[in-house]
Structure 1
Amino acid sequence: MPDTNSFPEFTPSPNNRVITQSVRIRPGAYILDDPDGNGALRIEADDIIVDFQGSVITSCQNAEEAARENFEGIGLKMEGLRGVTVKNAVIRGYQYNVWMETCRGVILENCDTSLSRAEQVTKDGMPIDIWLEIRDLGYWRSYGAGVWIEKSTLCSVRKCKSCYSNIGIVLAFSNKCTVTESDFSFNSAWGIALWQSCDNTISWCLADFVNRPWRSGYGADSAAMAVSYGSHRNYIVGVSITHGGDGFFLTNLTDVGYNLEARRFLPQGSSDDNIIAYCDGSWSPANAFEGTFSFRNVYFRNIANHSGHGFWLGFSCDSLLLENEISHNYGMGIAIEHGSGTRIEKNTIEHNGDAAIALWASGGEEREGHPSRNIEIRDNIIRHCKKAFNLTTSTDIYIDGNIIEDAPTEDEAKSTKAPDAASALEKFTSSPQYAKLQEILKAKPADFRLYRECSMPRGMKWLEMSDYHPRDFRNSPAAYRLGGWSGLELYIMNPEDTKIEFPEWACAETDPNDKHTIKITPKPELPPAMRTLTLKIRRADKVEEITLPILTAEWTQRWFHWDKDSSPITEAGAEECIFSSRPALEIKSHIQPNWDWTRGAAADGAPEGAFAFEASAEVNLPAGTYRFAAGFTGGLSLWVDSELVCGDWSGKRYSFTSGEIKLAEGTHEIKIRHCQDRDWKLLRLYWAKLS
């Protein structure tokens, strides 16, 4: 590549927006709006190099503090270009920071396109419930992106960063492009998104912590990587997609697409023949990998651990699941409703809360006639799962060669078809697809690491939100999370040379099994009140200050059994009858009640199945208006000083309720009543003094 030092210097301004030759951008920060939607800056010549030399192009003075939902326009626009290289740019504060359309062979290298348009997803610490539309390109356009590539071919994005937005990068109607060695983490919709884009290679990228809250936790169809509507033959290799709503989410245009007249499924716009290999989708609240309404996709040597489910492949056909690691998921290891032709071989499936492999047809006229069928389960290791197989209403199954330990099998788990002549793994490893995969693996950068290979906090509990996206802690001396207002948990990146300063009224507790983890809590003898906790974390010459509200209060908790035949969720009078009875367990705790999709008992000694729960605490609060809210399964009411603030007893699968109350300064009693009868238990309490 030519030495850019010999290029003429270009100074952007409202009167100097168009680049028509190879240039160096004069170093500096330039505030440029896009008044006509045609780009704050435009490149309008082929076969040139534009070196920004680290210059910043932005729509406003401080994009990080601005209302990102109001970002408009395009930062850098390239349309109809050939052979252009853009390098070393920082572009932020637009709906689309970089827009490439009908381009060929354009290269974007070492650029930071973070802070494009983003929806506000929390306010006062409470979720703003915005569900994403993965099957509508019009919505995608409204979300904006750090990089948007449309109707383009053979373009490359490498060593770039696009974070803190709705979407990191979009490929729409674009083919044979390459995205590699780039960071699309800590966005709130999708890190990497493909729409009707084929034959692309996405490799050696980070797209971790791409998630958003909703009324019942995290997800709302967010995903580290989204592949939608007719995106075929893409290679997705070595991408770290942990802590997403889904890690990987592949789907079609019309969802089920059941045609009432034809009385059959007619889904449209499937995404087929993709290779997903060596990716890590762990710690995702919904699914580590979801691939629905699709054909012939290959999942090879991926990691799908510690998520809601490992692989969810509803209505998928001829999928291959080969040599994947699937463990410690809350639900099923592999879940396939109405699938066919799937081959499940040489996977390690361990410590999952439900069946290792579940194949089924749901109820209803349109679904019962389409069971999961023609599926082979060969040579897998299945250990320590609730059961090995759930084959409800499935047909034509071949099961052989599996090692099964501590995972009960039932009589239906028998072969009802003859096997293929050759195993699916043998066929795949002798295919042209596998040969191309080996070429991608040879190009792995020596310094690339998946998120799990770094010394960073892991687990869904570390999904802590800012107003617009999950909070990025990677360049901080510590990650932190509130423990239900009752304390602060820290993950110290380098505990050997980090010091923590905290007030005398708090105490620190280290984890003997994890030197990185420290909990800071109020001393139990303190009177009940809302306090401001300020920590200083020092490492070398860097000091980070954290200031958060902390509640010092003792919660009295009373747990009750109840009979599902007299449910307090659905029957009048049952609630008072249960809460006036003798509790099965009564405890006192300084920890505010919260549980995120817990299975089994929500507390030591508490009832595991159907239960009722009452908790109360007295707290000294300053005068003001307070908002209280809760996301939960079952039914719930919340009172302050005997005044009902919010509640919902409709018994829906997920519920969210909120209300506001004006309080005088002084001591107030907060009381919660909660009943539920589900295997999975959710209770998230939110409350804040409104500014």
Structure 2
Amino acid sequence: MLPRIVFLLSFGMQPQTLPTVTVTQDDTVIRQSCRIVIPPGTVIEDANGDGVIQIAASDIVVEFAEGSLLRGSKPGTPPDQYRGYGVRVVGQKNVTLRRARLSGFWCGLWATNAAGLVLESCDGSDNRRQRLGSTPAAEDGGDWLWPHNNDENEWLKNYGAAFYVEDSEGVTVRGCRVRRGQNGLVLDCCNEAKVYDNDLSFNSGWGVALWRSSRNVISRNAIDFCVRGYSHGVYNRGQDSAGILMFEQCCQNVIAENSVTHGGDGFFGFAGREALGETGAHPAEWYKRRGNNDNLLMKNDFSYAPAHGIEMTFSFGNCFIHNRLVGNAICGVWGGYSQDTLVAGNDMAENGEMGYGLERGGVNIEHGRNNRIVQNTLGKNKCGVHLWGGPTGQFAERAWAKANGTDSTQNLIAGNTIEGNDLAFHFRGPGEVTLGYNQVRDGGREIEADKEHTVRRDESITGADFRSPDYPVFGQARPLGARKHLAGRENILMTEWGPWDHESPLVRLVETAGSSHAYELHGMPGEVTARVTGDDVAGRWDGAVSNGRGRYVVAARAGGVHPYVFEVFANGFSQRLTGTLLTAAWDATFFKWTQDVDPREKLEGWRVLARGDSAHSIGLDQLALKYGHRGPSELKLSDALAQARLGGDHFGMIARTKLPLTRGRWEFVTLSDDGVRVTVDGKPVIENWTWHGPTRDTGVLELSEDRTVEILVEHFEIDGYAVLELNVRRAD
């Protein structure tokens, strides 16, 4: 353990006269104001998990000198292996940390019980982030986040952050920057904070995350591209990433004039498990009006999300006013079980292109009460406003449901301009809604309503009595519209470490079609050259390289397994990637199965179906079956298979091939949804014979000699999303 170093410096000095402290060792304790100097190239690991720099006094200013970087991991360390904390503050008040540059840590700054903390012009880029398993071709279910628990610091323990502040009142975060991370700023049990003029963009988790935090103002920040789980035109999951996250009874917050585009959700709010009665034990009356309540979302841009522009569920009295919600894949506003919500004056357009079932379009509210949707502009959405009620299953027994009710009733839609939508109004299940005067024109049908949903019309109600409220706002930045050139979800380009920042050069693998791989190049600085090396492997440009963009294809020239190296060079930039091509002749059989022959319980009976008259066998040169919500008949694999119309649920596949492999260790990798089994020469290598979301499994085969092996792959799909991919590569 390195010796603890304590600096005693005079307090009260002006910034220009602050004494200098050179930091070169772990466990540096700062007790009074100073300027931190760190020599270039210095790496200091947090060996004890208590912070490299420990601020142990109140009412002080700690300022980093120009060019000083506190780095906790050696260059080349994978970001998911970063450890420790850069700066730690515990129990100190009115600490100002200015111009700190913190990277290579699990968490750049962790502050506890630090009332009055000020983070000013700090840079928390390049701290811990997950290596993502999802690819442009298919989602990996292991990438989903779980923000539902944090009373034991689960967000910090599981995910890390650039800045994590807990149990602190009156915090100010201004002028800070975070790139190439997972989470930007976490406020855990913090009230009365001011967060403004920050740029917390291009991260793979949450830009700003609030847990049990109230009466905060978050204004004039750029929080764009905080996203994961998206491949344009292939899947839109979001995986619970968000520009702004708000969980567990956060109330009376003001979120104003922020740019929050291209987030998994733009804004993601959930009342919390305690609020719903899933954790804790409280009297029945405690659950009345329990949730994320009375928050104001004002004049923000929540556009281009893979999921929802705004999601706020099981909550009361929230106001969404004058926001821009354009091009969100599922819907603009999702307000499940919301009550007393005001959705007013918003611009909602072109939402719902990749909706989930009937959840799509402008405003979607399930089991909501006394919600007012007034004076909005809804244009070219898959549906303008969609409300529904009905049975809630076991949720009806939850304490929250008993205290607050779950019926869809007393909702008002008035004064909206609804133009060019596929359907203006959709009302399902038991419920009640009042339609005031709305301008509906140039679209598809005006209304689709179930008989059990009462629709009252009163065109004297126009919503004109709505008045925009006054609200506090801080900051001089004007982030709204600053990234217009990146409009559209097609500009979300994911890598294994997060979203591309549209500034640095990018080479990413986009197609793994067995016998060929395709790479996209973006942001190349100047003339580009590429080369590929490997036995029986060739490379070529697929079209011209233009404006720094190009596409390069690597293909096998013979059957078998072919490792290769792909290198790209461009005006000082270089990148080296490795891959393995698998070329094989697969005999694949597809078939339907019924619930009385569930493969998890009646495997032999399920296998018999593959030999039946309704089964269809075809030849494939790869197992890269990206079904999505489709089935085998919809993948255009053969005319006969297409005509079989096997559907997207309850289908199976059994595929066989023979493959020559050399001696050594070979790694088999599957991406599956649902069950998968891989055997080689009759011995199991991978077995995940369960109902599961997209999951990556790995198995190793060790050969003592060169030989040809027989590979058998079995896959079943129950329902919903489906995928099956197999790759083989050397493990030694």
Aligned to 1:658: 697
Corresponding residue to 1:178 among 173, 191, 194: 194
1:61-80 alignment, distance < 5 Å: 61-62=74-75, 64-65=77-78, 68=81, 71-73=83-85, 75-77=87-89, 79-80=91-92
Change (3 A) 1:478 1:171: same
Aligned to 1:256: 276
By how many angstroms is 1:427 displaced? 5.0
Aligned length: 668
| CA contact 1:283–1:459 (8 Å) conserved in 2 | no
Change (3 A) 1:78 1:419: farther
Provide the rounded CA distance (Å) in 2 between the counterparts of 1:516 and 1:581: 53
Deviations 1:279-298 (A, max 9, x none): 335343x5443211111223
Change (3 A) 1:45 1:156: same
Tell me whether 153-162 or 168-177 shows the greater mean CA deviation: 153-162
Deviations 1:29-86 (A, max 9, x none): 36264748376242635264624323122344448447636x235524375333x543
By how many angstroms is 1:419 displaced? 5.5
Provide the rounded CA distance (Å) in 1 between the counterparts of 2:488 and 2:419: 29
| CA contact 2:101–2:122 (8 Å) conserved in 1 | yes
Aligned to 1:576: 608
| CA contact 1:528–1:552 (8 Å) conserved in 2 | yes
SS of 2:146's partner is coil
Corresponding residue to 1:90 among 97, 101, 104: 101
SS of 1:593's partner is strand
Provide the rounded CA distance (Å) in 2 between the counterparts of 1:241 and 1:167: 14
SS of 2:609's partner is helix
| CA contact 1:189–1:212 (8 Å) conserved in 2 | no
1:158-237 alignment, distance < 5 Å: 158-185=174-201, 187-197=203-213, 198-211=215-228, 221-237=240-256
Alignment gaps of 5+ in structure 1: none
Is it true that 1:493 corresponds to 2:533 in the alignment? no
Aligned to 2:10: none
By how many angstroms is 1:251 displaced? 1.2
Aligned to 2:541: 508
By how many angstroms is 1:194 displaced? 1.0
1:233-632 alignment, distance < 5 Å: 233-241=252-260, 244-254=263-273, 256-257=276-277, 268-275=290-297, 277-280=299-302, 282-284=304-306, 286-299=307-320, 300-303=322-325, 305-321=327-343, 322-325=346-349, 326-331=351-356, 332-333=359-360, 334-345=363-374, 346-348=376-378, 350=380, 352=382, 357-364=386-393, 367=396, 370-378=406-414, 379=416, 381=418, 385=422, 389-398=426-435, 401=438, 402-403=440-441, 405-406=443-444, 409-412=447-450, 416-417=455-456, 423=462, 426-433=464-471, 436=472, 443-445=476-478, 449-450=482-483, 453-454=485-486, 458=490, 462-466=493-497, 470=498, 472=500, 474-484=502-512, 486=514, 487-494=516-523, 497-503=526-532, 505-510=538-543, 518-523=550-555, 525-538=557-570, 541-553=571-583, 556=586, 560=590, 562=592, 572=602, 573-578=605-610, 580-581=612-613, 586=618, 588=620, 592-596=624-628, 602-604=634-636, 606=642, 607=645, 608-610=647-649, 611-613=651-653, 619-622=659-662, 623-632=664-673
By how many angstroms is 1:465 displaced? 1.9
Change (3 A) 1:595 1:35: same
Counterpart code for 1:297: N
By how many angstroms is 1:273 displaced? 2.0
By how many angstroms is 1:237 displaced? 3.8
Corresponding residue to 2:157 among 119, 138, 142: 142
Corresponding residue to 1:111 among 119, 122, 129: 122
| CA contact 1:247–1:289 (8 Å) conserved in 2 | yes
Counterpart code for 1:337: E
Change (3 A) 1:407 1:553: farther
Change (3 A) 1:658 1:205: same
Provide the rounded CA distance (Å) in 2 between the counterparts of 1:383 and 1:647: 50
Q: Aligned residues: percent identity?
A: 17
Tell me whether 333-342 or 488-497 shows the greater mean CA deviation: 488-497
By how many angstroms is 1:648 displaced? 5.3
Change (3 A) 1:336 1:570: farther
Provide the rounded CA distance (Å) in 2 between the counterparts of 1:154 and 1:263: 31
Change (3 A) 1:348 1:488: farther
By how many angstroms is 1:20 displaced? 1.6
Output the aligned Cα RMSD. Answer: 4.5
Change (3 A) 1:492 1:39: closer
Aligned to 1:155: 171
Counterpart code for 1:171: L
Change (3 A) 1:522 1:667: farther
Change (3 A) 1:356 1:639: farther
Change (3 A) 1:565 1:625: closer
Alignment gaps of 5+ in structure 2: 1-12
Deviations 1:488-525 (A, max 9, x none): 4444434794424133712332499x977644334465
SS of 1:576's partner is helix
By how many angstroms is 1:533 displaced? 3.6
Provide the rounded CA distance (Å) in 1 between the counterparts of 2:180 and 2:694: 28
Aligned to 2:9: none
1:635-674 alignment, distance < 5 Å: 635-641=675-681, 643-647=683-687, 652=691, 654=693, 656=695, 658=697, 660-664=699-703, 665-674=706-715
Counterpart code for 2:428: L
| CA contact 1:640–1:669 (8 Å) conserved in 2 | yes
Provide the rounded CA distance (Å) in 2 between the counterparts of 1:242 and 1:643: 49
SS of 1:458's partner is helix
SS of 1:167's partner is coil
By how many angstroms is 1:577 displaced? 2.1
Deviations 1:438-459 (A, max 9, x none): x66x944379734x63399836
Counterpart code for 2:430: T
Provide the rounded CA distance (Å) in 2 between the counterparts of 1:79 and 1:416: 57
TM superposition score normalised by structure 1: 0.80
Tell me whether 401-410 or 475-484 shows the greater mean CA deviation: 401-410
Provide the rounded CA distance (Å) in 1 between the counterparts of 2:510 and 2:170: 46
Provide the rounded CA distance (Å) in 1 between the counterparts of 2:457 and 2:588: 56
Aligned to 1:46: 59
By how many angstroms is 1:400 displaced? 5.3
SS of 2:407's partner is coil
